[in-house]
Structure 1
Amino acid sequence: MKVLVVNNELKESHKEQIKETTDKIKARVCFTDSEDQIPDDFVDAEVIYGFAMRTIAKNKNLKWLCVPSAGVDYLLKPGVFANEDCIITNSAGAYGVSIAEHMIMVSLMLMRQMNVIYRKSVSGEWGNKMPQKSLKGSRITVLGTGDIGCTFAQRVHSFEPASLTGVCRSGICGEPSFDRILSIDHLDEILPETDLLIMCLPETADTKGILSKERIQLLPDGAYVVNVGRGYATKACR
């Protein structure tokens, strides 16, 4: 068996762990920084970790593709794989903490007007009052209650929001940080009661354009939207 690893960010300790595992199963492993560097004798590898779109489109021998991303929508289109029976696994669960912290940072920057404060600090203009909002007492809605949405809820809960609502397709989620969970059918009902809308949705046929101009208009004046999911979830509003 051949195992191909296409990744330029792995530490030597990671490579050693992979090598220990492949040795146990008597598989050959090749590490390469990019798809352009794949040796000829590994273009037909049975296992690939990383991004190698041209290779998987030609490799009929490929049995398992593992990607270092949570989303796999770009892999589910016709013609992507030479072997349509290839198993795909992703890295869902690996990014919850990092992205949740990023969402809190962005939310605070928006609500505390850090962009305005920065511009004033550069220009030396001080003295004017700037209205600022707080996560404490805000009505927060999280659209998408997967690993990222739930991890965000766990962390933002400590800021004491007025309400913390999760919205998902099924209306079922076991994360206790949420005050309530609603199904996607109730999205239009909760938007007028939302001061901060967090979006962390995968790209599917159901999520494309889910935040339309009409739904944005349902939000209260001064509400904020933070989207860390696919950009296709929002429709261009002109």
Structure 2
Amino acid sequence: MKLIIGSDHLGKDFTKKLQDLFPDGEFIEAFTESEQKKHISDSEVFFGFPSKSILENAKKLKWIACPGTGIDKIVKNLHLIDENITITNAPLAHVTPMAEHVVGMMVSLAHSYK
């Protein structure tokens, strides 16, 4: 199975970790659109946020795994992909950092008022 890693959201060693866990998979790091275009036509999985032109060339794609919450750019281009393609995201990925940021900002504002 050929998998494109199109985002380094999870660190530079993410691909290596995946390869170690799943040695039968062919993991391709393609962080630029031109690199992604070279491999998308025969890839089954795309990890990242594929552009419109990438989706147009995704002939064998079965799964788009987004490492973040928002999939709005993909949803805008659903007409370009097969209806059987699974799209997943990580909806709780930013909950804790966002809550920590809000509390920090509240404390900061509270200290600014005299």
Query: TM class, shorter-chain normalised?
Result: 0.7 to 0.9
Matched residue of 2:93: which SS?
Answer: coil
Larger RCO, structures 1/2 (Cα 8 Å, 6+ apart): 2
2:81 maps to 1:82: yes
How does the TM-score come out when normalised to structure 2? Answer: 0.79
For 1:17 and 1:78, the matched residues in 2 are separated by 31
2:35 maps to 1:16: no
Corresponding position of 2:3: 3
Distance 1:78 1:94, change over 3 A: closer
Number of residue pairs matched by the alignment = 111
Kept in 1, the 8 Å contact 2:46–2:65? The answer is: yes
Corresponding position of 2:93: 94
Kept in 2, the 8 Å contact 1:50–1:66? The answer is: yes
For 2:22 and 2:54, the matched residues in 1 are separated by 21
CA RMSD of superposed structures (Å): 2.2
For 1:17 and 1:33, the matched residues in 2 are separated by 17
Kept in 1, the 8 Å contact 2:37–2:54? The answer is: no
Kept in 2, the 8 Å contact 1:59–1:83? The answer is: no
Corresponding position of 1:43: 40
Matched residue of 2:47: which SS?
Answer: strand
Quote the offset at 1:27 in angstroms.
2.6
Quote the offset at 1:80 in angstroms.
5.3
**Which has more helix, going by share of residues?**
2
For 1:7 and 1:110, the matched residues in 2 are separated by 35
Quote the offset at 1:39 in angstroms.
5.8
Quote the offset at 1:84 in angstroms.
2.5
2:75 maps to 1:73: no
Larger Rg: 1
For 2:16 and 2:29, the matched residues in 1 are separated by 11
Matched residue of 1:62: which SS?
Answer: coil
For structure 2, which runs of at least 5 residues remain unmatched after alignment?
A: none
Kindly provide the CA deviation profile for residues 155-199 of structure 1, in whole angstroms up to 9, marking residues without a partner as x: xxxxxxxxxxxxxxxxxxxxxxxxxxxxxxxxxxxxxxxxxxxxx
How does the TM-score come out when normalised to structure 1? Answer: 0.42
Kept in 1, the 8 Å contact 2:37–2:57? The answer is: no
